[in-house]
Amino acid sequence: MNKVKNKEELLDVSFNTMLLGKSIFAFVEFISGLLLIFVPLDLIKATIHHLDLIKATIHHLALAISLSPFSTMITNAGERLTNDATLFAIVYLLLHGALKLVTLALLWKKILWSYPLSILLLVGFILYQIFEFFNHGSISMLVLCAVDVLMIILTLLEYRKLKAHISKEGSYSSLKNSKVN
């Protein structure tokens, strides 16, 4: 494996790795939202209730390694499934996934105006995730916040690098014709 030669290359590798990870996650979110449209709620509930043995095993494992909130979340998942919750999940997954996929595609293409847009969108997601954390105590929301903060930092650094390259080369078309990475 080749070593990273300088800070700029490290930024490129880090940024592209985050873009790839977030792209995969956004795609899975969007597909999950589509699946929720076509999978009946009763089937989802029945599947969760048939997994009692697995839930019990996860619950005992989580208790053994002090992940009580995680085990409680798994144990109560079937009880929280309602038509309203499913509709919210569908809308959230489709909207959140689609917005991320569009902004990530723009970032992959290095469209300059998409960098501030992406940062603004990530700030909105962070605010929502913090709201959810304080309302429901979901640790996963804090993890998502941390990932989004890292993505904002990398996006800002990449944006500054591209702007510097454009001002040095004199035009945006030179950016597309030359290899920035």
Q: List pLDDT tens digits, range 69-111.
A: 544 554 555 455 556 667 777 888 888 899 999 999 999 999 9
Which of the two residues, 173 and 137, has the higher pLDDT score?
137
CA distance 111 to 12: 16
In this prediction the pTM is 0.67
Binning the chain into helix, strand and coil, the percentages to the nearest 5 are 85, 0, 15
Nearest partner of 36 among 101, 87, 82, 84, judged by Cα: 87
